[in-house]
Structure 1
Amino acid sequence: MKNINLRTQVVLTVLTLLLLENSVCPAAEKAAEAKQDQQQAMKAARQKAAWKKRRIIFNNDGNEPVYSLKEATPQALLDVRTSPLKGSQVDTIFYCTWSSGFSYFTHDTKVGNVFTETADKLSNNKTAELIKKGHDPLTVMSDWCQENDVELFWSFRMNDTHDASTAWYGPLLFPPLKKEHPEWLVGSAEQKPKNGRWTAVDFTHEEICDLAYRYVEEVCRNYDVDGVELDFFRHLNYFKRVSQGEPAGELELSRLNDLMRRIRAMADEVARQRGRPILVAIRVPDSVEYARVLGLDVETWLKEDLVDIMTVTGYFRLNPWKESVKLGHKYDVPVYAGLSESREKDQLARKVYASTEGSRGRAMNAWSQGVDGIYLFNSFNPRHPLWRELGEPTQLKTLPKVYFTSARGYASVNAWWKQGSSYMNRDILTPKHPRVVSPGKSVSVTLPVGENPQETGAALELKVRLKTEPQNKEVLLVKVNGEAVQLDLNENHFLSGRINPDLVTEGENRIEFALAATATRPAVVEDLQLWVTYQE
């Protein structure tokens, strides 16, 4: 009898569980389906936001609270670099709250340290006063951007090493985190690394990866930003192994890959909670191979949909713009041309490279190769006309400009990896990187031109600068796409002259320098410029 009762109880229990399962499963399935629908909708919204029109992205390094304010007010902060941008072609601001060095910020962080140093030339630092008064710089920027329909990203310098400088500011930027944990650094002041700078934190330490994640998470959860930029170009030193001269291995690659996955998942979670996407942008070298040596697995990030926006180049550019465009668009990611200020030490060349005409030529070349917008770095005068020109290629076409091979050169590519220059895949001709033409020999250089002069009715002037005055102006023969051109000797060892617009095409142009066999010494070509002007 007991056995029968026991069997009956078991049967009843099973039937009850089945009934419960049948009633719960549909509800659980509906909840899962609803969550999946929400995720798909947010992903679609994220993709749409990623492809928003951004004519110009303004990267603001956030120096204003530290150096530039006479009073600690929102208006004083905005007047320095932001308010004058109203009505310009700047559709997006990437605002960096310093992160220099790693863990120091000028927003009201609880995870890192607020930068309150006032020693030496930092005596005007008003960061602490702004925050105390309720004027967090990042919130001030967010409010202004919303009022003026400008997109705002928080820019995080992933491993800034300005604190390695021997200048007055270096020791003052060295944060408590690094003093307390010297074992987390890639080197020391006494044992400097082969590659990069000794104050860089080593991302092989899980503690560093976790801190980087928490810095980003804190901003995503507490500030009304449209996205976050992970600026890997500041600076390109992430692992002790690489700093000691070995390429990044699987451990190093996995560390940053996992960090990127965590950030993507967190950004998407916060986006679902607030009902609006949080985009993830990166600034990286324009060579997948070079970046991977350093530990940045850029193509994996793109392939796994961890990135929404990609900006390429900084201290140097290794490839034509079109290569980065091809990579980004392969994974449905918009690509922005990063234009940094010229650091050419030769004053004659720098005057041209840093000119308004020079910036127009650089931007026009980028637009012609398919980039989705222009990103300006270390350009801080909000009243400069470039903010109202560089974002519209049709407008640029009829403005005077000058084309040259590079405004930056590429020497710094070897600072982060000693063999970095081996990844260079384009021609550079600057005073620091001249071309030597031996008697009876010729040398050619590719000069990209971002427009068809025949269509725009432009007048062209070619300028070739030599290191020393030639013995005879006719000794050096210059050809443009196979056609000889007549150039006259001018001051500062320049050969220059008007050339037929029909000789120049949009895209790559071959400029050849040939030296007569009768020459008694080589010719050293230091610079090449193509000036484009239009009739009024």
Structure 2
Amino acid sequence: MTDFEVLKQNARNKTRRVLLENDGCDTVYECSTADPKELLKQRTLYLSDSKVDTYFYCTWSSGLGVYTHNTKVGSIFNTKDIIFKNNKTQEFIDQGTDCLKIMTQYCNTNNIEIFWTMRMNDVHDNHGAEYSKTMYQSNQFKLDSPDCMIATYGDRPPYGAGTAADFEKEKVRQLVLDSFREVMENYNVDGILLDFFRHPVFFKEPAYGTPATQAQLGIMTELVRNVNMLADELGRKRNRPFLMAVRVPDSVPFCKTIGLDIEKWLKEGLVDLLVTSSYLQLNHWEYSVALGHRYNIPVYPSLDESRVRDENARKSRHTLKAFRGRVMNILNSGADGVFIFNNSGLNRDNLISCIHEPLNNPTLYADYDKDYFVSIRGVGAVAGSCFPHNKYINIPVLNPHHPIVIKADNKDYTFMEMGNDALGCQPKTYTLKLFFKESFPKEVNVFFNGECFSLDNTEGNTATFKIDEKLIKAGTNIIFMHNPSREDVTLLDALVQVRLR
């Protein structure tokens, strides 16, 4: 190995347990004045004494080629129309700086690794919202090259948006390369993230309901290869590597269906960090871990907000206790760390609390109250839609919109993943809560990991059971229900509460 290859390997394999993404909305929406301290105050100042190892900053990138840093190859998003009246992009640039310089300088000073995020095909410019047309009209590339879009602003394909860039077009791929070159040549970032989840429609075939072709898979792989070569070229020039991360769906078959040959990228060594999932989780986290580690690539499952449709169910998944349960599941899977996208559904105070808790240490984190759900995301849905993903789901999706109906005189079951809370030293109680559509029929028998439980309490349509801690498993736990009655029973949701005694 050359000296540079050793540097890159060491950088790739460094310990990073907590990764946090900022989508860049602080620059556009949240600053009252164009003051770097005001910008940092919104989402960044509290990182310096937190557990965050790596910060990802997205300079809008919505749609492709529109940025809030001082770009020469794309369009500067400096509009103040509609909901963008607080946009401070141009003011920062007029001061001789920009949001990415401010973030990079802060992270460099505070010894926090920083990556620049490019949303590979964001289509908020065609969401049908009031702001969409303003965003579309801010994109000079799309206005000048309408043939480089999958359809048009007014024409919506079955899956995705008409304004999505068509990656079969060489001009699109060149814009991507030029954008990465510009950032790596002008900003002291440690790496780049190709976020393929914003939004995952890249070719006409998947947008119109057929899988990506082999040729399209090759086109995207060649682009990823070229970005990797560019990063290495520029990294060698500064004698410090630019690491390359990707965020993709957690399913090799689904990735290939939409045009991403992720396993080929890993096999060729084109990826340094693998981040999986976003709107969707298709497999258990162990699937992603096995995939990345097969090629000696660190893996960071992404925690994003839940978008289950029932409001109360969604709120219960956006608590700090539920977030802790999600983190413990990731740590138990063998993943190298956790990727927090924006706030993962947490409010600001809870986000600040969580990144100051020991979520980088499962032994310490075990001794915190937490909630585990059968499913956080449910079936999931991509904003703007994408190729149908339901057949690729291999995990439970229980939530009020996708309940389990236990037929009369029948039985059914589901799985619940739990972290290794036994690592802690504090005694705990474990409570199973089942939420039904109707009042809980007391003749229904409930088993947890093979043991039948007596009902502890009912409140409305909620049944509560105390669980002996000896029955709890780190990993997969089975909830089994037998309904001997003459009526169907509908289970809407299930969680296990872990509380310190």
Q: Does 1:528 align with 2:490?
A: no
Q: Secondary structure at the match of 1:391?
A: coil
Q: Secondary structure at the match of 1:149?
A: coil
Q: Secondary structure at the match of 2:348?
A: coil
Q: Does 1:354 align with 2:322?
A: no
Superposed CA offset, 1:102-147 (max 9, x none): 1110000000011011112211111001011012111111110011
Q: 1:211 aligns with which of 159, 165, 175?
A: 175
Superposed CA offset, 1:204-233 (max 9, x none): 111101111111111111111000000001
Q: 1:441 aligns with which of 395, 410, 423?
A: 410
When the two structures are superposed, what TM-score results if normalisation uses the length of structure 1? Answer: 0.89
Q: Does 1:263 align with 2:227?
A: yes
Q: Which residue of 1 aligns with 2:467?
A: 499
Q: Which residue of 1 aligns with 2:101?
A: 139
Q: Secondary structure at the match of 2:90?
A: helix
Q: Relative to structure 1, is the Cα distance of residues 416 and 67 closer, same or farther in structure 2, using a 3 angstrom cutoff?
A: closer
Q: Secondary structure at the match of 1:484?
A: strand
CA distance in 2, matches of 1:202, 1:416: 16
Offset, 1:417: 4.8
Q: 1:283 aligns with which of 247, 251, 269?
A: 247
Contact 1:339-1:376 at 8 Å conserved across structures: yes
Q: Which residue of 1 aligns with 2:433?
A: 463
CA distance in 1, matches of 2:474, 2:89: 48
Alignment: residue pair count: 493
The percentage of aligned residue pairs carrying the same residue is: 37
Offset, 1:496: 0.5
Contact 2:307-2:381 at 8 Å conserved across structures: no
Q: Which residue of 2 aligns with 1:513?
A: 481
Report the more deviating stretch, 403-412 or 484-493: 484-493
Contact 1:413-1:421 at 8 Å conserved across structures: no
Report the more deviating stretch, 43-52 or 186-195: 186-195
Q: Does 1:391 align with 2:391?
A: no
Contact 2:62-2:122 at 8 Å conserved across structures: yes
Report the more deviating stretch, 362-371 or 378-387: 378-387
Q: Does 1:128 align with 2:90?
A: yes
Contact 1:414-1:420 at 8 Å conserved across structures: no
- Mapping of 1:321-470 within 5 angstroms? 321-379=285-343, 381=348, 384-389=352-357, 390-412=359-381, 416-453=385-422, 457-470=427-440
Q: Does 1:99 align with 2:99?
A: no
When the two structures are superposed, what TM-score results if normalisation uses the length of structure 2? Answer: 0.95
CA distance in 2, matches of 1:160, 1:88: 30
- Mapping of 1:223-242 within 5 angstroms? 223-242=187-206
Contact 1:478-1:484 at 8 Å conserved across structures: yes
Contact 1:442-1:512 at 8 Å conserved across structures: yes
| Structure with greater Cα Rg | 1
Q: Relative to structure 1, is the Cα distance of residues 386 and 414 closer, same or farther in structure 2, using a 3 angstrom cutoff?
A: closer
Q: 1:312 aligns with which of 276, 283, 294?
A: 276
Contact 1:413-1:420 at 8 Å conserved across structures: no
Give the AA of the match of 1:345: R
Contact 1:59-1:376 at 8 Å conserved across structures: yes
CA distance in 1, matches of 2:304, 2:232: 31
Report the more deviating stretch, 393-402 or 278-287: 393-402
CA distance in 2, matches of 1:417, 1:74: 37
Offset, 1:458: 2.0
CA distance in 1, matches of 2:93, 2:360: 34
Q: Which residue of 2 aligns with 1:482?
A: 450
RMSD: 1.7
CA distance in 2, matches of 1:458, 1:321: 25
Contact 1:414-1:421 at 8 Å conserved across structures: no
Q: Which residue of 2 aligns with 1:21?
A: none
Offset, 1:419: 3.8
Q: Relative to structure 1, is the Cα distance of residues 71 and 418 closer, same or farther in structure 2, using a 3 angstrom cutoff?
A: closer
Q: Which residue of 2 aligns with 1:22?
A: none
Give the AA of the match of 1:399: Y
Q: Relative to structure 1, is the Cα distance of residues 335 and 162 closer, same or farther in structure 2, using a 3 angstrom cutoff?
A: same
CA distance in 1, matches of 2:364, 2:161: 42
Q: Relative to structure 1, is the Cα distance of residues 325 and 142 closer, same or farther in structure 2, using a 3 angstrom cutoff?
A: same
CA distance in 1, matches of 2:174, 2:444: 60
Q: Which residue of 2 aligns with 1:26?
A: none
CA distance in 2, matches of 1:373, 1:367: 7
Structure with a larger share of its residues in helix? 1
Q: Relative to structure 1, is the Cα distance of residues 402 and 385 closer, same or farther in structure 2, using a 3 angstrom cutoff?
A: same
- Mapping of 1:188-203 within 5 angstroms? 188-203=152-167
Report the more deviating stretch, 51-60 or 355-364: 51-60
Q: Which residue of 2 aligns with 1:25?
A: none
CA distance in 2, matches of 1:268, 1:161: 29
Offset, 1:391: 2.5
Q: Secondary structure at the match of 2:83?
A: helix
Q: Relative to structure 1, is the Cα distance of residues 207 and 50 closer, same or farther in structure 2, using a 3 angstrom cutoff?
A: same
Give the AA of the match of 1:202: D
Q: 1:55 aligns with which of 14, 17, 23?
A: 17
